[in-house]
Chains A and B, each alone.
Chain A
Amino acid sequence: DSGVTQTPKHLITATGQRVTLRCSPRSGDLSVYWYQQSLDQGLQFLIQYYNGEERAKGNILERFSAQQFPDLHSELNLSSLELGDSALYFCASSPRGDTEAFFGQGTRLTVV
């Protein structure tokens, strides 16, 4: 158990809908990362937050947004969902930027 909690584990939704994925980092970790893993794109970095502030942005679509709250948990919002958004979404946390990250179990999103 990495100590990073992601909910829900599975999510099935229809095209055009909006979903929110939640992540609770390990106790004491200030940095949260979000990734998307799909069969054809591999593991893609989406966005990083550090102590509530956005620190780095990767290949995150405009339809996606994220935030980190004062208690350090983070949410990833995916809107206007398309079939191609079906993937495994991982959250990871680390004590600070650039140290090793510890991953949650992932949320498997299926868009139908």
Chain B
Amino acid sequence: AQKVTQAQTEISVVEKEDVTLDCVYETRDTTYYLFWYKQPPSGELVFLIRRNSFDEQNEISGRYSWNFQKSTSSFNFTITASQVVDSAVYFCASRQLTFGSGTQLTVLP
């Protein structure tokens, strides 16, 4: 069985601060896919990033970066120079079948 744990229920930062959202996954699959999704107050779920278990490097996309560590089964997501519009619930997911409980991020002006 797969399991995704987001221990941070709520995070509050001031605009322009960097913020890292934690995700720990459990899987028995040798090949697996991890995702981050964002759910703003309007309610829709928006895909942000995907990481395959066989990818070698961590990546950066604009203000987003992620750190995938197989040794600790972690897939952390960082927003650099946060903005008020980043305020949302962020979900980590394993494949499309198992979602974490979400982290509510509030960015204060």
Contacts and interface: CB of A to CB of B under 8 A. Distances in A.
Interface of A: 2, 33, 35, 42-45, 48, 56, 58, 88, 90, 92, 94, 97-106
Interface of B: 33, 35, 37, 43-47, 50, 91, 95-99, 101-102
B40 to A, nearest CB: 12
B44 A43 contact: no
A56 B47 contact: no
Contacts of A56: 97
Contacts of B50: 99-100
Given A35-B99, A43-B91, A99-B50, 10 more contacts: A42-B99, A42-B102, A43-B99, A43-B102, A92-B96, A94-B96, A97-B95, A101-B47, A101-B96, A102-B47
A45 B33 contact: no
B44 A103 contact: yes
